[in-house]
């Protein structure tokens, strides 16, 4: 998709998506990231440290959420800044027949900077009805 500044308005929604997460996704992410903390794969250990069970890696959640912006911009290199605060973990149940968790993401244009040809996308990221990321904002350079 080719997006130009002239097509954009503050408050405009860029899209929504639901990301299905399985325990297998967490294992693959652990291998790719090198983060083998047992809270991300061992139910007994996660509960022993007072978590609700196995939880998704924060960076997995953050990376999965920004995909909405990448798809909208049409180029991963267009995302020139991305930041967030982590507020709640995403528990991922061990299910054989479907996702153990779902992450819902909605993107809305929060600012447009015509001088720098950028737009800020504000993301709302929830799981099980709770915000799991806050102040999730991606800055996109539009050509």
pLDDT surpasses 60 at 1: no
Domain count for the chain: 1
Q: pTM for the complete prediction?
A: 0.93
Backbone angles phi, psi at 32, to 5 degrees: -70, -35
pLDDT surpasses 60 at 65: yes
- pLDDT tens for 83-102 read 999 999 999 999 888 899 99
- pLDDT tens for 105-126 read 999 999 999 999 999 999 999 9
- pLDDT tens for 2-42 read 677 888 999 999 999 999 999 999 999 999 999 999 999 99
Q: What is the CATH number of the domain that holds 27?
A: 3.10.129.10
């Amino acid at each position: 998709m080719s997006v130009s500044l002239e097509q954009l308005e503050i408050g405009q929604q860029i899209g929504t998506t639901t990301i299905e997460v399985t325990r297998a996704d967490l294992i693959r992410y652990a291998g790719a990231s090198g983060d083998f903390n047992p809270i991300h794969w061992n139910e007994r250990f996660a509960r022993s440290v007072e978590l609700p069970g196995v939880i998704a890696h924060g960076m997995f959640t953050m990376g999965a959420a920004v995909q909405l912006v990448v798809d909208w911009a049409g180029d991963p290199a267009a995302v020139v800044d991305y930041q967030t605060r982590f507020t709640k973990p995403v528990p991922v149940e061990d299910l054989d027949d479907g996702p153990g968790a779902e992450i819902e993401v909605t993107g809305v244009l929060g600012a447009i900077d015509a001088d720098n040809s950028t737009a800020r996308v504000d993301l709302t990221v929830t799981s099980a009805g709770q915000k799991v990321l806050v102040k999730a904002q991606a800055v996109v350079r539009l050509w």
